[in-house]
Amino acid sequence: MPRPPPHRPPRRPATTTPAASPAPAPAPAPATAASRAAAAAFQAALRGALAGARRVAVVGVGSDLRGDDAAGLRVAGRLAAWAARTGTRRLAAFVGGAAPENFTGEILRFAPDLVVLVDAAHLGRAPGELGLVAPEDVRGLAFSTHMLPVPILLDYLTASCGCRTLVVGIQVGRKDVLAPLTPAVARGVRRLAAALQAAVEAAAPPPSRSAPPPAPPAPHPAPQHDGGPRHVA
């Protein structure tokens, strides 16, 4: 008589543990009251500095090859596109690169009564924060101007066209070779471009179309870089 097959318990269906879903990316921290107050104070100071200015030249300085060092160039590029789009006669923007002194002829032909130089700087603040720097204080800051020291360029423009000058620094985060702008500095670029647009629009009515802009005084010889230090000390 055949032996019955051995009893085998029924197999339980295989179960799998569901994979854990990835943790959501942390939301950006909301702006603190202190940062909002600092931004409002900067915008008010910028409007005050541009008050009464009928023609404003913005000169962006920096290098496209060194991360946040391109911040000034990005601001000037945005403003140049805005000026071309709106047809404004109140503002001209110059992407000065590492040698902004090469644009002094174009700046003088524009005949500004205010020149705003924008550059990445070490302000001792969080990356992307903005700061107005009086010309007399420029010598004490480390700017990223690459060829001609900032004070020499500003002195030349003032002597050549009688304009006021202003420096706006954007605190750098990093300047790695071929790196993009850090997110904080990119936000600072957008904030500064928007603030300059608003300040220029609020500064003064445009010059009369019936009269050309006043001719600038005879320019002094353009300054030459002597191969000395590339940073303001």
CATH value at residue 115: 3.40.50.1450
pLDDT at residue 220, rounded to an integer: 52
Which residues neighbour 214 within 8 Å (Cβ) at sequence distance 6 or greater?
111
Residue 187 placed within a domain: yes
- Token representation of residue 76: 């000037």
Full pLDDT tens readout for the chain, 233 residues: 556 666 666 666 555 555 555 555 444 445 577 778 888 888 899 999 898 899 999 999 988 888 999 999 999 999 999 999 999 999 999 998 888 888 999 999 999 999 999 998 888 889 999 999 866 667 655 555 455 677 888 888 999 989 999 999 999 998 888 889 999 999 999 999 999 999 988 875 655 554 455 555 555 555 555 444 333 33
Residue 162 placed within a domain: yes
Residue 160 placed within a domain: yes
Residue carrying the six token digits 């220029």: 200
Which residues neighbour 192 within 8 Å (Cβ) at sequence distance 6 or greater?
75, 118, 130, 168, 170
Residue 193 placed within a domain: yes
Q: How many domains does the chain have?
A: 1
Residues 90, 56 contacting (CB under 8 angstroms): yes
Residue 35 placed within a domain: no
pLDDT at residue 100, rounded to an integer: 86
Question: What φ, ψ does residue 220 adopt, rounded to 5°?
Answer: -75, 165
**Domain span including residue 70:** 53-203
Residue 81 placed within a domain: yes
Residues 179, 127 contacting (CB under 8 angstroms): no
pTM value is: 0.72
Helix (H, G, I), strand (E, B) or coil at 228: coil
pLDDT at residue 227, rounded to an integer: 46
Residue 217 placed within a domain: no
Residue 232 placed within a domain: no
Helix (H, G, I), strand (E, B) or coil at 232: coil
pLDDT at residue 169, rounded to an integer: 92
